[in-house]
Amino acid sequence: MGVILKFTIRNIKEKKFRTFLILFSIMMSSALFFASGAMAGSVGKIIVDRIRNSVGSSEIMIHANEKSASGFMTTAAAEDFDSDMEFIVGTINGEGVYKKEDKETIKINLNGYEFEELQQMNPVILEEEYELQPFQGKKIILSSATAEKLGLGIGESMEMTIDSVKHRFRVVGIAQPKGIFLEDGRSNNAVVPREMLASLYGAKGKVTAIHMKPKDMGSKQELIESLSKVYKRYTVRETIDEEDIKRGASTFNVPFMMMVVMVLVISVFIIYTSFRVITTEMLPVIGTFRSIGATKRMTDMVLLTESVAYGAVGGALGCVLGIGILYLMANMMLTQADRAAGFTATIQYDTSQMLIAFILALVLSVVSSLIPIIKVSRISVKDIVLNNVEKVKRKKAYKLWLGLLLMSVVIIAPRMAPRDITVAVSMVCLILASISVTLLIPYITGLFVRLFEGIYVYLFGNEGVLAAKNLRENKNVLNNISLLAMGISALLIINTISFSVFEEVADAYRTLNYDVELWIPGMDRQKLSLVEKIDGVSDAYGNLMVYDLEIADSTDSIMGVIGAEPNQFADYYEMNIMGDAEKLIKELDKERSIIITNSLKYKLDVDIGESITFRTKAGDRQYKVIGLCETMMYNGQMAIVSDRFLKSDMNLRYYNDILIKTSKAPEEVKENIKKFFGNQDIYITTMDEMEKSNVESNESLFSIFRIFSIMAMVIGIFGVLNNFAISFMERKRALAMFRSTGMSKVQIIKMIFIEALSGGLVGGAVGIFSGVVNISIIPYVMRAIDMPIPIHYSAILLISSLLGGAAVTLIASVSPALKSSRLNIIDAIKYE
């Protein structure tokens, strides 16, 4: 056995590229599996870290909600729990406007704290301080960045407008950009004495939020329940709802896992085909050893050891690489604001995730190599020694039928699957689609060969016809087509989804029929008419909106509910309302009725004529569904009701924003509006800016997805290169034979290139077919994770896939073509 093992090790060393390919595919599979598995945790960690910056070590939080009589509360009732808590910190938030010497106005977020309490919950590190204690009266702590921006130094005074009243503060501290002072370059945070801020808002002794940390973390839920009883009309919750964050983060996980499935399928294929070659090469040696007394078990164990070794080395490397990929992915998840704030990506994973990735590598390697090993094991010693092993397999008809059956399952199952298992079913279908395509490839290639034979005689002459014929039943060509198809399919899926999302974003903005969006405090009819008079504003619309409107007796909510003003709404929104849109919008105003998106119809299982009951400030309110629309706004989780009912039910006093149509360039109008409102706190953006920022935020996410799909393609390309190398070795004799019957070097090169081109084109075409089948599953997956997107196919993408396939094989065939032309005919022909 030691001798066979020695032979195996020598074989591994000799076949460097094959060894690299197997290790690379195992390593990438386990790395991507590990990274995507740990991604949810790391995304969660990023979100938690973001929140922790502002709330420090707070574990329980109390704040007002729509049922609360006021936004303020006292900490008195919470103080009763003092003995159970490490700290109880009351805070009050407000806003001030600072006017610089050049008249530029800067909004300051004011955080009212007792300094000692803040130090306990979320420590501030001061770079400089001046008469900080006692932290009372009009004192302010700024971050070093804000102080620099405002041109203020320690001990200087600053004038700020709070609630339209000017106040003079003294800068008593300049803090390092950490914790509450970690700013994104746009927002400016300041800490002021709590009592002073409360008195400015006429809420002496009161706070807007209470933060607590239990001494015993195990009693957290119990304390939340007890506090809820005391603060009945307020929200008492975990400061950081990890479950909610996990749920949010797991949305990222699904597309990653789909890509991992594709990479795994490609790896299985590569390992399986490589082991077929390994076992074929080992056959004479196995025969020799078996003939002199080695048992089947011994020879099987040698092959299995080789497989386990690949799995172990690939798995270990994969875990290391996985950490790198995870870090890269986490870094890409950071927003520009995060980066501006100096926020760095931290990754989160545990050893169990690493262990699972390692085990996956082992299982992947062993399972993929098992069939070739078992097949070799079944061959009798006599057949091996006498070389009676069937070298060319006949096409088995069952493969065609099995391929077609699996394809039918792939097409039907995701459409029929219940919503809660759609994702799992779709994952299985991705695997089945690849198996099905692999089974069908010999038949599909056969059809293409017939087509090529007809065309190539005119395009490339007889060498073209011979090249086409060579594709038939050529194992390596078929393997190349399979690998290309899987790689192209993976690339196509991600690029089509990303293309669709960008198209949808563009579409979503096309549904918004206005040029500028404005937010100013207290947007009422009076402010609206002021806006209408500004130079360049041709029309303005007060937009009413409620976010995350809860549905009674359910855990569901609707992400965005728009209140439509019957006469103007259609001028500002083009919502793809099915039927007579104008009539339906007018009908909304007659009684409590609602138009929902098709996604919501599917998600909430309601149809036209049925009702949805909302939990509103005025109590439960029933809205009758009177129409359906199709939009990607709020991921399709939105609805339209009349502004009249939304205003009264939700007790809305102000518009959410003012939508503006312009008669001049939106940029110019934006500047006019900014000038008009002078030093008031104002948020204004043009549609172009909004679209750009949305595209940017999608871009970083899709860049990560693209890395996965490109990895799948890279593994596929390496596989293709390997197959070309194997193919050259196996075809040496046939190529020499062509030469002996009069084929010139030029003709050989021409034939090999045409073969490669044809294989690439078939691979590209099958890849497109398989990609389209897989993509057809995606809408069901996306709908199941509440991110429904209609699929848009890009003709350029499809054509480039086809040409890309041909380019890959053409490039991969350069070396074999040159080697073939330099082939020693005698050596190749003479020996069997």
Binding site for other proteins (CB under 8 A): 392, 461-463, 465-466, 469-470, 472-474, 733-734, 736-747, 825-826, 829-830, 832
Q: How far is the CB of 816 from other proteins (least distance, A)?
A: 17
Instruction: Please give the single-letter amino acid code of residue 749.
Output: I
Q: How far is the CB of 280 from other proteins (least distance, A)?
A: 15
Q: How far apart are the C-alpha atoms of 810 and 759, rounded to whole Å?
A: 9
Q: How far apart are the C-alpha atoms of 231 and 228, rounded to whole Å?
A: 5
Rank residues 491 and 828 by Cβ distance to other proteins and give the closer one. Answer: 828
Rank residues 792 and 819 by Cβ distance to other proteins and give the closer one. Answer: 819
Helix (H, G, I), strand (E, B) or coil at 567: coil
Please state, in angstroms and as integers, the Cα–Cα distance from residue 775 to each residue in 43, 154, 246, 700, 735, following that order. 26, 60, 26, 21, 40
How far is C-alpha 605 from the chain's CA centre? 27
Q: How far is the CB of 477 from other proteins (least distance, A)?
A: 10
Rank residues 472 and 644 by Cβ distance to other proteins and give the closer one. Answer: 472
Q: How far is the CB of 470 from other proteins (least distance, A)?
A: 6
Instruction: Note whether 702 and 540 are within 8 A (CB).
Output: no
Rank residues 392 and 397 by Cβ distance to other proteins and give the closer one. Answer: 392
Instruction: Please give the single-letter amino acid code of residue 723.
Output: N
Rank residues 557 and 821 by Cβ distance to other proteins and give the closer one. Answer: 821
- Beta carbons within 8 Å of 645's beta carbon, 6+ residues apart: 563, 588, 592, 621, 623
Instruction: Please give the single-letter amino acid code of residue 156.
Output: E
Location of structure tokens 């200087």: 156
How far is C-alpha 807 from the chain's CA centre? 29
Backbone angles phi, psi at 515, to 5 degrees: -110, -30
Rank residues 292 and 392 by Cβ distance to other proteins and give the closer one. Answer: 392
Rank residues 247 and 395 by Cβ distance to other proteins and give the closer one. Answer: 395
Torsion region of 202: left, alpha or beta (phi above 0 gives left; psi -120 to 50 gives alpha): left
The gap between the terminal CA atoms of the chain, to the nearest Å, is 28
- Beta carbons within 8 Å of 289's beta carbon, 6+ residues apart: 3, 4, 298, 299
Q: How far is the CB of 390 from other proteins (least distance, A)?
A: 9
Between β-strands 209-214 and 537-550, what pairing exists: parallel, antiparallel or unpaired? unpaired
Rank residues 527 and 731 by Cβ distance to other proteins and give the closer one. Answer: 731
CA angle 339, 340, 342 (to 5 degrees): 65
Rank residues 466 and 633 by Cβ distance to other proteins and give the closer one. Answer: 466
Rank residues 465 and 806 by Cβ distance to other proteins and give the closer one. Answer: 465
Helix (H, G, I), strand (E, B) or coil at 395: coil
Torsion region of 474: left, alpha or beta (phi above 0 gives left; psi -120 to 50 gives alpha): beta
Residue 122's CB is within 10 A of a number of other CB atoms, namely 24
Q: How far apart are the C-alpha atoms of 476 and 730, rounded to whole Å?
A: 9
Rank residues 268 and 743 by Cβ distance to other proteins and give the closer one. Answer: 743
Q: How far is the CB of 832 from other proteins (least distance, A)?
A: 5
Q: How far apart are the C-alpha atoms of 378 and 764, rounded to whole Å?
A: 36
Rank residues 475 and 592 by Cβ distance to other proteins and give the closer one. Answer: 475
CA angle 24, 30, 34 (to 5 degrees): 140
Rank residues 466 and 562 by Cβ distance to other proteins and give the closer one. Answer: 466
- Helix axes 296-333 and 16-55, enclosed angle (nearest 10): 40
Instruction: Note whether 568 and 541 are within 8 A (CB).
Output: yes
Q: How far is the CB of 823 from other proteins (least distance, A)?
A: 11
Rank residues 338 and 463 by Cβ distance to other proteins and give the closer one. Answer: 463
Instruction: Note whether 638 and 597 are within 8 A (CB).
Output: yes
Q: How far is the CB of 744 from other proteins (least distance, A)?
A: 4
Helix (H, G, I), strand (E, B) or coil at 589: coil
Rank residues 18 and 731 by Cβ distance to other proteins and give the closer one. Answer: 731
Q: How far apart are the C-alpha atoms of 653 and 656, rounded to whole Å?
A: 9
Q: How far is the CB of 371 from other proteins (least distance, A)?
A: 23
Instruction: Please give the single-letter amino acid code of residue 419.
Output: R
What six digits make up the tokens of 431? Answer: 């695997």
Instruction: Note whether 72 and 63 are within 8 A (CB).
Output: no
Rank residues 165 and 392 by Cβ distance to other proteins and give the closer one. Answer: 392
Location of structure tokens 């799992």: 424
Q: How far is the CB of 375 from other proteins (least distance, A)?
A: 19
Q: Is 826 exposed, middle or buried (0-12, 13-18, 19+ CB in 10 A)?
A: exposed
Q: How far is the CB of 474 from other proteins (least distance, A)?
A: 6
Q: Dihedral sign for Cα 69, 72, 77, 78, please.
A: positive
Rank residues 554 and 744 by Cβ distance to other proteins and give the closer one. Answer: 744
Q: How far is the CB of 742 from other proteins (least distance, A)?
A: 2
- Beta carbons within 8 Å of 255's beta carbon, 6+ residues apart: 494, 497, 705
What is 513-555 written as a DSSP string?
--SEEEE-SS--HHHHHHHHTSTTEEEEEEEEEEEEEEBTTSS
- The per-residue b/e assignment along 813-824, b for 16 or more CB within 10 angstroms, e otherwise, is beebbeebbebe
Q: How far is the CB of 403 from other proteins (least distance, A)?
A: 21
Q: How far apart are the C-alpha atoms of 25 and 712, rounded to whole Å?
A: 9
Q: How far is the CB of 479 from other proteins (least distance, A)?
A: 15
Helix (H, G, I), strand (E, B) or coil at 154: coil
Q: How far is the CB of 6 from other proteins (least distance, A)?
A: 24
Q: How far is the CB of 489 from other proteins (least distance, A)?
A: 27
Rank residues 386 and 826 by Cβ distance to other proteins and give the closer one. Answer: 826
Q: How far is the CB of 482 from other proteins (least distance, A)?
A: 18
Q: How far is the CB of 414 from other proteins (least distance, A)?
A: 38
